[in-house]
Amino acid sequence: MHHKSALLNVIDVEATCWNGQPPPGSLNEIIEIGLTVVDVSARRRVSRHRILVRPARSTVSDFCTELTGLTQAEADQGVTFAEACRMLADEYEAGVRPWASWGEYDRRQFARQCQADGVPYPFGYPTEHTHTNAKAVFTDAHGLRKRPGMAYALRIAGLPLEGRHHRGEDDAWNIAALVLDLAAREAWPTTVPLS
């Protein structure tokens, strides 16, 4: 039976960052949400998306631009964080669809920023049923002692790095390839549909 919960959102965020500590009064804020929709059972990446988010409590540093390629001018064109979360829920069914990211950073950053901005958390509860740490799954599947960064994991899996590393949209696309590689090895956990 083909249930819509066969779809998985693979998410990678970029946030404002500095070489060292944030300036006084500034917080790390999401400025890009990269999202690739994956049909795990069909073993394919269905679509790729990018949501630019306008930071409210910080600005895009030169260091951040060097890392992500994102400028303050681009971020200024983005939607508010609240609007981005609403889009995740409405357009990408974030409340019911399981999701994955490379490590726990993205999940923690969403939780932190939702709390700071008083925005409802867009992903389904309980978290442990909806979020999969793809880095942890990859580490176990390959019997590694240390958890690899995404670029190194692609090399281990023999997959190309497509696009620019530290660009959320490209990273989500590449992480999705790793998820499908794990699914092909029967190593990707099956998530229980919430609905």
Q: In this predicted structure, what is the pLDDT of residue 5?
A: 47
Phi and psi dihedrals of 64, rounded to 5?
-65, -40
Rounded mean pLDDT of 71-79? 98
Rounded mean pLDDT of 132-159? 97
Share of the chain above pLDDT 90, in %: 90
Q: What is the mean pLDDT of the chain?
A: 93
The contacts found for 41-47 with CB under 8 angstroms, 24 or more apart, are 41/2, 41/6, 42/6, 43/180, 43/183, 43/184, 44/180, 45/173, 45/176, 45/177, 45/180, 46/7
Place of tokens 């631009």: 65
Asked if the model's pLDDT at residue 39 lies above 60, the reply is yes
Q: In this predicted structure, what is the pLDDT of residue 34?
A: 98
Q: In this predicted structure, what is the pLDDT of residue 1?
A: 39
Characterize the bridge pairing of strands 99-101 and 7-15.
parallel
Rounded mean pLDDT of 107-130? 89
Q: In this predicted structure, what is the pLDDT of residue 11?
A: 98
Domains and CATH numbers, the chain: 4-184 (3.30.420.10)
Q: Are 105 and 149 in contact (CB under 8 A)?
A: no
Q: Are 134 and 100 in contact (CB under 8 A)?
A: yes
Asked if the model's pLDDT at residue 195 lies above 50, the reply is no
Threshold 0.85, pTM exceeds = yes
For 186, the token pair is 């029967």
Alpha-carbon radius of gyration of the chain = 16
Rounded mean pLDDT of 123-139? 87
Q: Measured between alpha carbons, how far is 182 from 191 in angstroms, rounded to an integer? A: 14
Tens digits of per-residue pLDDT, 149-193?
999 999 999 999 999 999 999 999 999 999 999 999 999 997 655
Rounded mean pLDDT of 17-34? 95
Q: In this predicted structure, what is the pLDDT of residue 47?
A: 98
